[in-house]
Amino acid sequence: MERIIYHGSEFIIEKPLYGKGNIHNDYGLGFYCCSNKELAKEWAAKKTGSGFINKYSIRDDRLKILDLTKPPHNDVLHWIALLMHNRELSSDLKDNFPKELKYLEEKYLIDVSDYDIVIGYRADDSYFRFPESFVRSEITLESLNKIFQAGDLGKQYVLISQRAFNLVHFLSYEEALEQSKIDYYKRKSGADKLYADLLKEDRYLKGTRLRDLITDYE
């Protein structure tokens, strides 16, 4: 199956390079794309109001894909475990919630090095606060699942292996304009409001919190 994917960047990238990038991204080292062109525009323009949307095709039917949006790996806790494993965490989380982080690592972490591609939701700075708050038991698993399943976070399509990089083909590019930066901050503002509302509501809910899962596990 041929798939069209987009990568938003400050640069035109005709040949994505295996082994380049930030190891502290959501799913570790890889080339981060999406199938949503408008979302790629936002990523390209969010800093300066301009950038490029690089368009690629890839045949992924022979590749091993970890899809965190579909069974059997669509449990939101798999997603959170990967985020906590790969992201640079605050000293607050590392120092005050070691049991919670260890629980997620031991029970839910998936080794992405066994795969060529990872498909999953993104957790940019606006949305990373949601899983962080779950680790602190400030919001419930039920609320996190609601956000996760609604797809509000947007999907990422991440090339992990050398084999995947060999099969991706550059098609074209176009410029991202100032409107895409405006759209990005509008989305960020929506995330900020959702986060504030969620903290306020979950304070009074009796749903499942991470501390409850750890108690049952122990």
Q: How far apart are CA 28 and CA 1, in angstroms?
A: 25
The answer to whether 8 and 50 have CB atoms below 8 angstroms apart is: no
Comparing CA positions, the residue from 141, 145, 130, 147 lying closest to residue 84 is 130
Alpha-helical segments (H) within 29-168: 37-45, 76-86, 91-96, 98-108, 129-135, 141-150, 162-167
Mean pLDDT of the chain: 90
- Specify the pLDDT at position 215: 83
Percent pLDDT > 90 in the chain is 67
Amino acid at residue number 113 = S
Q: List the domain boundaries for the chain.
A: 2-217
Write the CA distances from 156 to 7, 27, 213, integer angstroms: 10, 10, 28
Report whether pLDDT(71) > 80: yes
- Specify the pLDDT at position 124: 75
Report whether pLDDT(154) > 80: no
| pLDDT per position as a tens digit, 83-126 | 999 999 999 999 999 999 999 999 999 999 999 999 998 877 77
- Specify the pLDDT at position 196: 86
- Specify the pLDDT at position 192: 84
